[in-house]
Structure 1
Amino acid sequence: MFLYGEVGKYSRKAYLPLSLFQLFFLQSVVFASQFSGIVVDVKGQPISNAVVRLQGTSFLTLTDQKGHFNIVIDEVISSKYITAWKSGFYNGGQPVSRENKEYRIILISIPLSDNQKYKWLPPSHDQMPRPIDSTVEVKPCQVCHPVLTEQWRNSAHAGSAINPLFLAFFNGTDAYGGKGIGLGYKLDFPNSNGNCTTCHVPALALDNPFSADPNEAQGVVKEGIFCDICHKINGVNIDQTGGYPGILSIKLQRPADGHQTFYGPYDDVFPGDDSYHPLYKNSQYCAPCHNGKFWNVLTYSEFQEWAESSYAKENIHCQDCHMKPDGKMTRFALEKEGGVLRDPVTIPSHLFFGVRDRVFMMEAIDLITQANLAGDTLKVCVTVKNVKAGHHYPTGNPMRNMLLLVDVVDGDGSSLLMNKGERVPVWGGVGTVEEGNYAGLPGKGFAKVLKDLLPYPDGRRKRHFQNEYPAPHWRPTLVESDDRIPANQSDVSNYQFHVPKTLSRSLHITTRLLYRRVYKNLLDAKGLKIPDIEIARKNLIIKR
């Protein structure tokens, strides 16, 4: 028989190429057709409803009430181990025999305590050495997982503590470290460090979440959102209001000295100190840092946007898009370190695709442009559709924004006058077009725009800063407008241009979508140069 439950929701037919793939690459194959036995704890007590799997395959079953299991297959496999897992236990296993035999798999329970004195493992060699005060062999993550570590190193997670944009707006500095330039949390609240580190530098915030200073991060902690802290998470508390961001909503399980624990998305990683946790394939894992409130405004609302979308109803999670497999990697760990040969579609990327990846951003949006010329009037209809983002577009930090630009020129390159339609808002940039300022031009903006809640300066509350527009999210604010595009929804805007009767040549219509990580005026004030990301462009020619 072949059984599968929630953790093995893949059909046998869908995984047939995996078995052929393994057979091609591995020399030792197993010809046994039946795998049966029992799963017990260290006291010999049977464990029911444990997941038993032939390592690296989709062949699995659940143990019965007496801990017994039986898997029957009709093809050769190349698994080295038959593994078992249940919540609260490390993954266990036994070497696979070439012949039919009874297996006895012992599962060891994971201690429930969290060792607050645990010393974090460094991601890579450049963080070695570290103080060694235990009997556990200390290996940087890079030793066993060089490809994944390199992917992570090139991701935004790896730079969350030292991101120049983050530090510039936290400290109130410019691109060169000059103080008192533009906006800054510390300029507004010089006697507070806030709770920024709960997401940006979580290991630093563990002991002091409301006053840790990101500028003081050292060693492994300065790696930001690094491997070891992510793989020690065994629970999250979802606060729908977003009032407990980052580490405040995360439950860690750090092992005692002389021991180790790693949680992850596989129930068959064995041997080792690993345990499967379904959270690692669920959007709830991402919620603590993507569901955050400042004052009374849900500033970071990505998780809520996803939860209210069709993606949540269809069981499509953050990891399915932002950790999409590259389709090439066949082992997430080196073979000599125990890495199991797997179907590439089962190994998630650790690049954590996002605003740094133009192709990824382009794939999420669709731009449709239609035009009709009647007499001396040209009508342009533009549809912007969120086709692949499981949340609003744009999303995340409310400084992020997107501009739609609509330009119509005649055969000589002169722009036509728009006499009806929307225009790019003031936060699109005031100044010359050559310098990326588009306020007042035909088009529109997409953003969650915040406005200062109170008039400043406010001497009664010792808030001596000036009003800013759009307002920074760390101040008391209100949402002035939010015209971002929810998942699977569209925005339609119409524009009307006057076409002189004397014009006999063709009209050239160009529509563009530009993505910006920060409002133009706030970026310019700091001298930061972050290029616009053109994520869509359409060109039409209308003949007179």
Structure 2
Amino acid sequence: MSFEGEHSVRLWRVIYLNILLVISVALSSCSSIANAQSPEPTSTPEPEENGPTFIKITNNGIKEAIVRIIGTSYTDDLDQNKLSLSQCFKDQFISVWAPGNYIKTISCDGNSPVEYVVTLDPIDINSGAIYSWAPAASSCLQCHIQAPDHDEYNEWHNSGHANVFQDRYFESMYSGRNIRTGAIGKQSSWGLSSDGKVRLQPSDISAADYTGPGFRLDYHNEYGNCAICHVPTAV
């Protein structure tokens, strides 16, 4: 090979290596810029489950209780034998409730950590023995229909809770009484399976006069959760 040819080959090798070097530098620079412009994603911290605000109920025998910072989704129960919330700021309120007791509301002082001591007032089962149930349309309606800020009546009136007895099957399944004939059903039979306690299918389920199950038939000494609020009507 001549000197000119060998020199030409070396020149092209140098140019080729320089091109590769430029491309490598450019790629690394782009990667650095991309990394600088694309920060690592950060996770949103979850609310504290065991916060610096503690609530102590002084009543004896309380096994179930719920607390909530009013107007928020921060709640806790006694599943860990203590009631604690994330910090409750001044001008906020905490509601405390346990079955068989009235709801109690306390104000927060904004301190942290802090423990609020609460004594709940038991519901008097003999209170209002001759209480006359007042329809919402003639009582609550007078003050709670001022839209849009105080329109609680219409909000309640349109709820499934307020219209539960519009579906007569609910009433029938609660009482165990046929809403058309007045016939009373039979208490349910129960059996054990690999999945636990199961209700057995009644033997007379195909009979023309069959009346479906009823909560009061199976638990005739109980009124159910409804009675917590509806004691005056004996549900």
Higher strand share: 1
Both structures adopt the same fold (TM-score exceeding 0.5): no
* Greater helix proportion: 2
| TM-score bin (small chain) | 0.3 to 0.5
Answer with 1 or 2: which has the greater Rg.
2
Q: Normalising to structure 2: TM-score of the pair?
A: 0.40
Q: Structure 1-normalised TM-score? A: 0.19
